[in-house]
Every structure is written in structure tokens, then in C-alpha cells.
Structure 1
């Protein structure tokens, strides 16, 4: 794909790699987790070499995802702090959904919806990590009541997280020009000016 040299840099190679590690781990965890959750999904364990290997690999992939997620969280938490402009954006999100986003409040690198998702996923990932350790009985011997609590929390939060990620993926595909940012690290100036005008002004000085 030939890209315009005037395109704006949105993500570095390491940031994109970090994102893809999280994405791949999430897919593997969702598939194996569903296999454990209900017998109808049990055949998914064959993707991992069978039920035993699925059980062995699931928590280790979870640890890798947690590490990758908290690295990216540490990188971006400051820029994702909510402001009054973001709250106003969220109040008018219906305009964005209907496609009439030209009069939305000017946004920085991330809009109110992206910031809300960022913090929501941060809470989910924290709960998933803590509950995951509670139910990882091969290495930890927590009280059975804690194990049961961990299993409930892990399953419930996993369902919420899957829903959040589906929204995230849909939004990235729906807003044309967004996905290329994670493939190539760049976005067009027109895209930046329309969807993140304050960030566009910041990086271009216009």
C-alpha cells in the first residue's frame, strides 16, 4: 500500500506490536475460555491440542496478556484522563453513532468513548488477573471459597470484556481509516482533522 508522506504518525512500531500481542492473546483466551465455560464450545480445545493443553496454556497466555496490557496502560493512562470536553463528547455520542459527527467537540488523540473504554478495560483486566490467580490451582492453593468467588468473577468479567472488545473492533472498522493506524502506524491528515481535530492541531501546529 502506497502511503502519503504527509500522513501523520499515530503509533510507533513498539506500540503497535504491544497492541497486537494483546489482541492475539485475547482471541486465544476467549476461545479456550469459552471451551471451559460450556460443553457446546468444548471442541474449541482442539485448537490448542486438546483439553489438557488448553487448560495448561490458558493461564500462561493470560499472564502474557496481562503484562502486555499493563505495559500499554502505563504508556497511555495520562493521555486518557477524562476532561470536560470528553464528558460533553459522551453526552453527544448519539450524533457520532448516526454519522453526523462534524459538530462534535474537538478531541485530542482519543475521544471520550475511547477513554471510557480504556478505563473500563483497565478495571476488567485487573479483575481478570486477580481472579485468574485465585483459580490457578496448579500453582496456588487458595481457600475453596476464594476459588469459587474467583471463578464467578472471572467468568462474568470475561463476558463483559468480550462485549467491550467487540465494540472496539466494530468501531475501528466502522470509522474508515482507523484500522490502518494499527497496521502502518499512520493516519491521513483528513482523518485526523475530522475525528481528532485537537490532536491534529497539536501535531501539525495548524
Structure 2
């Protein structure tokens, strides 16, 4: 790659995709805080951020539904790029090279690597369980249709998958900071050709073949 090419930027996320992503991030924070407030008395002080316990109970499920809608739109747009590929298994087998930053030893990666794909499907699973279990325990509208045993099971699953999702998001944030240039992709929408070549080489080759949008 020549110097003039290195000075150009590749469009990775459009403005609408970035707005969608940050809406998901914002609603996740609101849900995590309000959920913790409702989960245990030690965190109840967080309810004051939402106007008290009553408002926390009212807002939490509605914000949850909004997040599911936002993520469904985002996931639908990213579905094709997150389908499992042959090299994904090899990527996981070389997880030590991944953690050591030895990208040159890894199989060429498309738009998303195997770890990002795993997070994508983990998010789908977690949000699906959270949505269904949340509906069951949504006292104002739906809980009266279910037995106490079903509600207790739904409450347990809701707490468990909320915890798993929080863990997954923490890993996502860490990975985004750890891989230099990733945060820029979701704030400005662009990456350098060098970043694309190092971390997502198959995607970079595909872009060059299709002549995808590149901005200076």
C-alpha cells in the first residue's frame, strides 16, 4: 500500500448505524442502573436517578422494549456479516495469538472476527430471553396471566441473563479500547486502510474489489 492510500480513510459505519449503536449503549446503561436498583436493596439508591422506586419500575420495561427494537434494527443490518465462516474456528483455536496481538498469524478476517460474531449472537440470545422473561414479570400488564411458579422462573432467568449481558458488554468495551482505532470507527465512522489491513484483511480486500466508499 502506498503513502497516498494510507492517508485515506475507509467508511466502516454510516451515521445511522452509529446513532443506532449509541442508542443501544445509552439504553443499556439506563437498564443496567435501573435493573440493579430493582434487583437488590444495596443498589436501591440508584432508583433516585430515575425519580424514585415507582418511576424506576415504570420506566425499566419500556426502556427495555426500546432497546430491543433498536438492537433488532442494528442486528438485521449486520446479519450477513456475522454469519459463521470456516476461518472462525481457527480464530478461536489461535486465541493466544489474538490476545498477544499477533494478527499476522491469524486467518484473514472479514468485517467481523469470530469473537465479535460470538458477541453478536450472545446479545441476540440474551435480549430474547430478557424480553420474554421481562414480559412475564411485567406486573402492570402481563404477570397476571402467568402462574407464580412461571413468574419466579422468569425472574431468575431475567437476572441471570442480565448478568451475562453485562459481562458481555464489559468484554465488548474492553476489546473496543484494546484494539486501537475501534472506538474511532463507532464515533467518526471511519478507519484507516492500515487498521483494516491489520485487523480485517478479508474485509479490506473485499472493499477494494467492490470500491466501497472511502473518505479523505
TMscore range, shorter length: over 0.9
Within 5 A, what are the aligned runs for 1:27-176?
Answer: 27-140=29-142, 141=144, 142-176=146-180
Match of 1:186 among 174, 185, 190: 190
Deviation at 1:101, TM superposition (A): 2.1
Give me the whole-angstrom Cα distance separating, in 2, the residues matched to 1:62 and 1:5: 42
Q: Secondary structure at the match of 1:79?
A: helix
Q: Does 1:200 align with 2:204?
A: yes
Contiguous gaps of at least 5 residues in structure 2 = 1-5, 212-216
Deviations 1:131-176 (A, max 9, x none): 0100001011222221111100000000000000000000000000
Deviation at 1:35, TM superposition (A): 0.9
Give me the whole-angstrom Cα distance separating, in 2, the residues matched to 1:99 and 1:194: 10
Q: Secondary structure at the match of 1:8?
A: strand
More helix by share: 2
Q: TM-score, normalised by structure 2?
A: 0.91
Give me the whole-angstrom Cα distance separating, in 1, the residues matched to 2:78 and 2:102: 28
CA contact (8 A) 2:7 2:192 kept: no
Deviation at 1:73, TM superposition (A): 1.4
Deviation at 1:5, TM superposition (A): 7.0
Higher RCO, Cα 8 Å, sep 6+:
2
Deviation at 1:39, TM superposition (A): 1.1
Task: Please tell me the root mean square deviation across aligned C-alpha atoms, in Å.
Answer: 1.3
Q: Could you say which residue in structure 2 is the equivalent of 1:21? A: 23
CA contact (8 A) 2:109 2:202 kept: yes
Q: Secondary structure at the match of 1:167?
A: helix
Give me the whole-angstrom Cα distance separating, in 1, the residues matched to 2:7 and 2:107: 28
Give me the whole-angstrom Cα distance separating, in 2, the residues matched to 1:51 and 1:26: 19
Q: TM-score, normalised by structure 1?
A: 0.95
Deviation at 1:121, TM superposition (A): 1.0
Deviation at 1:10, TM superposition (A): 0.4
Q: Secondary structure at the match of 1:139?
A: coil
Give me the whole-angstrom Cα distance separating, in 1, the residues matched to 2:65 and 2:140: 14
